[in-house]
Structure 1
């Protein structure tokens, strides 16, 4: 019991110091504008309509109240297409680990893949990545796409994706 209490106290101390540091890094805007490319496994959890998922996104470097705008397009090998514009938040830990949460409404076309039920689909995502010295980043993301019950048919889908984020200042 004492070990559990000691481990809990240590974990709380680490989380508190990390969150203070993360808040300082968010305020300093240490994540630049990036062009992001990704490849992933569409509908990996149900394996009903699996496909390869390709993504191209722009993520803005400036933030407003810790939120940054982003926009992107997602295409699968089954021919479905999703495009949306939303917001994200980057939280940097230990100078090189970046946790990103994002949300975006978008428009979707079925193609030959899974029927998600509506033309309006929402994508929420959590991603964990490693940021290199030149501020490029490699990350793994988990996302959920659904129509939030805008239609009676709302099967949703999950996507596991590997991203590479390239800062715009490296390109130009």
Structure 2
């Protein structure tokens, strides 16, 4: 796994939680916007475009500190399937600007269809996105994510996806 996603996620999420939640209760449950996301992008394996991917995810209507639980599943044009759950951090919580940045980190299970062998079924998916909110209805963003097995085996090539994400608020 490209560990930069994990490092950024823990540094930013931890700092946000410490600065904004720890004066009262660091990991208390608070309300958050419940959202569903659909994203579409090109997938890359060792810098070669190998197809497309559709990814659907759901953000739960709560946060623990600065981290919001999220679940997702993706399918590529090579019939590769990934499903996982983890956490998401976003600047939306600390800024009133319609422009936001978000990071997520989700471990999951990868089922290889006709796509590349990633060396191990457990694959970590780290994502970085930037976008714009449209009030209380949703947002549009661009994203980059990386999946790999975090060196659980000698074979750890990883897959990247670059694309667009449309989000809809369910509240």
Q: What range is the shorter-chain TM-score in?
A: 0.7 to 0.9
Partner of 1:118: 120
Higher relative contact order (CA 8 A, sep 6+): 2
Q: Where does structure 1 lack aligned partners over 5 or more consecutive residues? A: 1-19
Q: 1:146 touches 1:154 (CA, 8 Å); kept in 2? A: yes
Partner of 1:5: none
Residues 123 and 147 of structure 2 are in contact (CA less than 8 Å); yes or no, is this contact kept in structure 1? Answer: yes
Larger radius of gyration: 1
Gaps of 5+ in 2: 1-15, 21-29
Q: Which has the higher helix share?
A: 1
Aligned-residue Cα RMSD (Å) equals 2.3
TM-score for the superposition, normalised by structure 2 = 0.77
Contact 1:32 1:135 in 2 (8 A): no
Is 1:80–2:80 an aligned residue pair?
Answer: yes
- 1:61 Cα deviation from its structure 2 partner: 3.0
Aligned to 2:13: none
The offset of 1:168, in angstroms, is 0.8
Q: Which residue of 1 aligns with 2:164?
A: 162
- Superposition deviation, residue 152 in structure 1: 1.1
* 8 Å CA contact retained: 1:42, 1:160: yes
Higher share of residues assigned strand: 2
| Segments of 4+ moved more than 6 angstroms | none
The Cα shift of 1:148 comes to 0.7
